Chain A
Amino acid sequence: MKKLMGVLCLLVAFAASGLFVPAPASAAGVKDTIIFAYETEPANLSTVENNAIAAYYPCFMIYSGLFKNTTDGIEKDLCTDYHIEKNAQGLETIWVFKIREGVKFSDGSDLTAKDVVATLKYAQTRPTVKSLTNWYTDVEAVDDYTVKIMTAKVFSTAPEALSNKACYILPSELIASGHDFNNKPVGSGPFKLSKWAKGDSITFVSNENYYHKDKMPKIKEVVWKIIAEGTSRSIALETGEVDFVINVDALDIPRLQENEDVVVSVTDGSMFTYLALNNAKGPFKDENLRKAISCAVNRESIIAVALENFGAPIYSSIPIIMDGWTMENATTFDLDKAREYLKTWGGDPSSLKFAIIVSTDVRRRAAEVIQSNLLEIGINCTIEQVDSATLTQVYNSGDFMSYISAYTSNDLLTWLNGVFRNTGTSSSQFRQAGLDMNGMIDSIAQTTDPTARKALVTEVNKTINAQQPFVPIYQSKVLIAYNANLEGVEIDPMGMFRLENFYWRK
């Protein structure tokens, strides 16, 4: 028995020695590694195989596109110049982009117009990102460093659309050979993949071929650690095991704020959370009832209960950060108004039977506040918590009365398309409120003059507010915490950042 135990222990030690690889040591005294903690593992490191937020961070490190999103808005990246040309009908539907010369992919090959054409055409073949790439009809290389992108209609926000990771440039030869970009990603970003320990961490090292010599990453190695549990992420930061925590649990914020070795960043976010009401059938077809519900919902209470006060109440139907946003025609918390709207609706509030469907604990807490708010105007509803796959199925099938969901984007058109465009199966068809949403979105897309566009956005915002297709609830804050010695951290409203700007204080 003793011998057996001895052999077993030796086997365990032998097996473990293969699993435990010591962390690489940096040069003496100079920290050049950063360890991030994030709740979920990216499903895929390819730019086009999924569209979850978790994949955006690594894609920003590995790949680059013609444009990039920064805290100051859209900036040129691989594109050095661009202009719009008119087609035969005199419409501005041809975008011409000059590509930066001397850019190399991480495998050492040159990036040219051929790669841009191949990437954009390839992205259109992938159903996972087709909704982000269906705005152009053709792409062609004019010369080695000039590309033309043709659109069916005037499309004013091509640079914004090209800043999406789905349009980040891949080597044309690898696309043609069916390369596995998930396991062996090749891009022209500031970092490249070093090791992916599935379920545990992803390690990136700086890309020595990165074109932007002035912005070569000062941090040489990035470890992306998967820590699913929120409190465990905060504790790992406090003990120094990780340097940067994305999505800090709101409950941990006061404790972290007391720690002088940690910086807590609380910034306004673009994640727009709303109570969807099925406009296509049942009692919510009536705008007065929708407005009554909106007036009864106390957003401040929801933010206190569900978000520990880390959120901003919203009443208008587009995110506050968008150019052209207005409060005109929006309803606010007012129980007397709610009762007035109920009277105009004319139905019996106690006869309403519906469930608010939610998929996360935070949204369940928000739904509980809404449930008690609605009771005050005589409406009784229930709450159903399901997983996100079920919620997606429910809202695509239209078999619901109401649910809580959220959407985020820095780009207005992407946001409007994601929330309001009627694509047949998307939940947005139940959010039309009798309006021509697709027409309104297209008219914004086709307005190239910024001033006229802003005015149009305001008009559209007013029109949507007047119909109250859903109940805007809150925009949550972006909660990030990091080691106090880290410099160069800038967070955008989506919670994204550019790692090439990070450096350690000496």
Chain B
Amino acid sequence: MWRFVLKRVLTIIPIMLGTTFIVFSIMSFAPGDAVGMLAADASQEEKAALRQELGLDDPLLIQYARYIKNLLLGDMGISYKSGAPVTEELAARIPYTALLAVVASIITIILAIPLGVIAAIRQNTFFDTSSMVFCLLGISIPPFWLGLLLILSFGVKLKMLPVSGSGSWAHLIMPAITQSVAGLATIARVTRSSMLEVIRQDYIRTARAKGIAYNQVIRRHALKNSLLPTITVAGLQVGALLSGAVVTETVFSWPGIGRFLVSSISWRDTPCVLGCVVIFVLTFSIINLIVDILYGFVDPRIKAIYKKA
């Protein structure tokens, strides 16, 4: 098992090199650069001086090699826009993104799995139909619109919650709901269809024939076996949440990494963009690893394969 984990951890290195190189190339070949943004009115000589100061006059491969070398030493570079270290910029924003992602994930998982399970075991009832209509709406509603609707209802009309910023727990409620709705709907639908498949299996019928209570059959036999696709989807959702949510962060002025990434791209602030990419790669790799390990816990056959490997 540990060898499997180690192997997976080592695969992060080529993934990291590949993604940073691709993003670095895209940023370099994109029209415009940070110098144009910092000193739009400057003369050619002044711009050349600034380009030299920022190290942008070196060949691209040298710039990339320098970035990777510094990254290995824990230095993510200096933001062209603010002049502050990228680690400092990220450190100020990652806790907000992580908090929003964790709270949204908890809401998503706590509500989505029971919703999907109950909808499956009560298939074709009013609860099933209404929950699936809710899921369809959840997937279809754009977060931007949902966010504004929540602001108008709970912020402006009812005056129950603050409409923007991040000063208290109350500030977290609406962004977390906005963030969780689409994921909740997706996971609930996946759980429902997976559960429907499992409860029609022979071993479930056998368990029922043996006289085991229906709830116990669902809890002990069906749920665990139906969770594999749910774990996969939930892993991707949590990864996406941890990589920042541009729309939700913009609507609620939540100071997370998503808004920072967009602003860094428009400023052509390559060190900041690469810093965000490094964080995203690490996040997704770790989440995928956790998902793979969880597979082993849910399905003993997969655990056996890991052991063999």
* Residues of A in contact with B (beta carbons under 8 Å apart): 5, 8-9, 12, 15-16, 18-23, 37, 40-41, 43-44, 46, 49-51, 127-131, 180, 182-183, 197-201, 225-229, 231-233, 235-236, 238-239, 241, 386-394, 396, 417-418, 423-426
Taking CB atoms, residues of chain A closer than 8 Å to B83 are 44, 46, 49, 180, 182
Q: Is the CB of B46 within 8 A of A389?
A: no
**In the complex, what distance in Å separates the CA atom of A427 from the CA atom of B250?**
32
> Does residue B151 face the partner (Cβ distance < 8 Å to A)?
yes
Q: Is the CB of A229 within 8 A of B251?
A: yes
Q: Is the CB of A388 within 8 A of B165?
A: no
* The one of B33, B47, B81, B103 that contacts A425, using a Cβ cutoff of 8 Å: B47
**In the complex, what distance in Å separates the CA atom of A22 from the CA atom of B30?**
42
> Does residue B241 face the partner (Cβ distance < 8 Å to A)?
no
* Residues of B in contact with A (beta carbons under 8 Å apart): 30-34, 36-44, 46-47, 49-50, 53, 81-84, 88-89, 92-93, 95-96, 98-99, 102-103, 106, 148, 151-152, 155-156, 159, 162-169, 171-172, 250-253, 255-256, 259-260, 263, 266-268
Q: Is the CB of B41 within 8 A of A127?
A: no
Query: Closest 8 CB pairs between A and B?
Result: A389-B32, A199-B255, A198-B92, A200-B255, A393-B32, A392-B36, A127-B50, A127-B46
Taking CB atoms, residues of chain A closer than 8 Å to B251 are 229, 232
Q: Is the CB of B168 within 8 A of A232?
A: no
B144 → A minimal CB distance (Å): 9
Q: Is the CB of A23 within 8 A of B46?
A: no
Q: Is the CB of A241 within 8 A of B256?
A: no
Q: Is the CB of B172 within 8 A of A227?
A: no
A53 → B minimal CB distance (Å): 12
**In the complex, what distance in Å separates the CA atom of A387 from the CA atom of B164?**
26
Write the chain B residue with the least CB distance to A19: B95
Q: Is the CB of A22 within 8 A of B168?
A: yes
Supposing A128-B42, A423-B44 touch, asked if A232 and B169 sit within 8 A by C-beta, the answer is: no
Q: Is the CB of B32 within 8 A of A225?
A: no
Tell which of B42, B81, B266 has the most Cβ of chain A within 10 Å: B42
Q: Is the CB of A228 within 8 A of B259?
A: yes
Write the chain A residue with the least CB distance to B48: A127
Taking CB atoms, residues of chain A closer than 8 Å to B106 are 5, 8-9, 12
Taking CB atoms, residues of chain B closer than 8 Å to A392 are 32, 36-37, 40
Q: Is the CB of B253 within 8 A of A229?
A: yes
A195 → B minimal CB distance (Å): 11
**In the complex, what distance in Å separates the CA atom of A229 from the CA atom of B249?**
10
Taking CB atoms, residues of chain B closer than 8 Å to A426 are 41, 43
A347 → B minimal CB distance (Å): 30
Write the chain B residue with the least CB distance to A45: B82
* The one of B31, B50, B95 that contacts A15, using a Cβ cutoff of 8 Å: B95
Taking CB atoms, residues of chain B closer than 8 Å to A131 are 39, 41-43, 46
Taking CB atoms, residues of chain B closer than 8 Å to A238 are 156
Taking CB atoms, residues of chain A closer than 8 Å to B102 are 8, 12, 15
**In the complex, what distance in Å separates the CA atom of A407 from the CA atom of B250?**
27
* The one of B36, B148, B172 that contacts A389, using a Cβ cutoff of 8 Å: B36
Q: Is the CB of A389 within 8 A of B268?
A: yes
Supposing A199-B92, A425-B43 touch, asked if A232 and B151 sit within 8 A by C-beta, the answer is: yes
Write the chain B residue with the least CB distance to A423: B43
27 A-B pairs with CB atoms under 8 Å apart are A16-B99, A16-B172, A19-B95, A20-B167, A20-B169, A23-B167, A51-B40, A127-B47, A182-B83, A197-B92, A198-B92, A200-B253, A226-B255, A227-B165, A232-B252, A241-B164, A387-B266, A389-B31, A389-B32, A389-B36, A389-B267, A390-B30, A390-B32, A392-B37, A393-B36, A423-B44, A426-B43
Taking CB atoms, residues of chain A closer than 8 Å to B37 are 388-389, 392
Taking CB atoms, residues of chain B closer than 8 Å to A393 are 31-33, 36
Taking CB atoms, residues of chain A closer than 8 Å to B99 are 12, 15-16, 19
* The one of B43, B81, B253 that contacts A43, using a Cβ cutoff of 8 Å: B81
Write the chain B residue with the least CB distance to A428: B41
A71 → B minimal CB distance (Å): 25
Taking CB atoms, residues of chain A closer than 8 Å to B152 are 235
**In the complex, what distance in Å separates the CA atom of A23 from the CA atom of B39?**
36
* The one of B43, B162, B172, B253 that contacts A424, using a Cβ cutoff of 8 Å: B43
**In the complex, what distance in Å separates the CA atom of A228 from the CA atom of B255?**
10
A483 → B minimal CB distance (Å): 16
Taking CB atoms, residues of chain A closer than 8 Å to B167 are 20-23
Q: Is the CB of B41 within 8 A of A227?
A: no
**In the complex, what distance in Å separates the CA atom of A127 from the CA atom of B56?**
14
A357 → B minimal CB distance (Å): 11
Taking CB atoms, residues of chain A closer than 8 Å to B256 are 199
Q: Is the CB of A16 within 8 A of B169?
A: yes
Taking CB atoms, residues of chain B closer than 8 Å to A21 are 167
A203 → B minimal CB distance (Å): 12
**In the complex, what distance in Å separates the CA atom of A22 from the CA atom of B152?**
24
B90 → A minimal CB distance (Å): 9
Taking CB atoms, residues of chain B closer than 8 Å to A229 are 250-251, 253
**In the complex, what distance in Å separates the CA atom of A43 from the CA atom of B38?**
9
Q: Is the CB of A239 within 8 A of B93?
A: no
Write the chain B residue with the least CB distance to A201: B165
Write the chain A residue with the least CB distance to B98: A15
Known: A131-B43, A390-B32, A418-B41. 5 other contacts (CB 8 A): A127-B53, A128-B39, A235-B155, A389-B30, A391-B32
Taking CB atoms, residues of chain B closer than 8 Å to A200 are 96, 165-166, 253, 255
* The one of B31, B47, B103, B255 that contacts A198, using a Cβ cutoff of 8 Å: B255
**In the complex, what distance in Å separates the CA atom of A128 from the CA atom of B36?**
10
Q: Is the CB of A231 within 8 A of B148?
A: yes
B104 → A minimal CB distance (Å): 11
**In the complex, what distance in Å separates the CA atom of A180 from the CA atom of B159?**
42
Q: Is the CB of A239 within 8 A of B156?
A: yes
Taking CB atoms, residues of chain B closer than 8 Å to A19 are 95-96, 99, 166
Taking CB atoms, residues of chain A closer than 8 Å to B41 are 51, 131, 417-418, 423, 426
Q: Is the CB of A235 within 8 A of B151?
A: yes
Taking CB atoms, residues of chain B closer than 8 Å to A44 are 81-83
B211 → A minimal CB distance (Å): 27
Supposing A127-B53, A236-B164 touch, asked if A198 and B93 sit within 8 A by C-beta, the answer is: yes
Taking CB atoms, residues of chain B closer than 8 Å to A128 are 38-39, 42, 50
A420 → B minimal CB distance (Å): 12
**In the complex, what distance in Å separates the CA atom of A127 from the CA atom of B38?**
9
**In the complex, what distance in Å separates the CA atom of A394 from the CA atom of B36?**
10
Q: Is the CB of B49 within 8 A of A127?
A: yes
Taking CB atoms, residues of chain B closer than 8 Å to A236 are 163-165
Supposing A128-B39, A235-B156, A389-B268 touch, asked if A182 and B82 sit within 8 A by C-beta, the answer is: yes
**In the complex, what distance in Å separates the CA atom of A307 from the CA atom of B164?**
26
Taking CB atoms, residues of chain B closer than 8 Å to A40 are 263
Write the chain A residue with the least CB distance to B168: A20
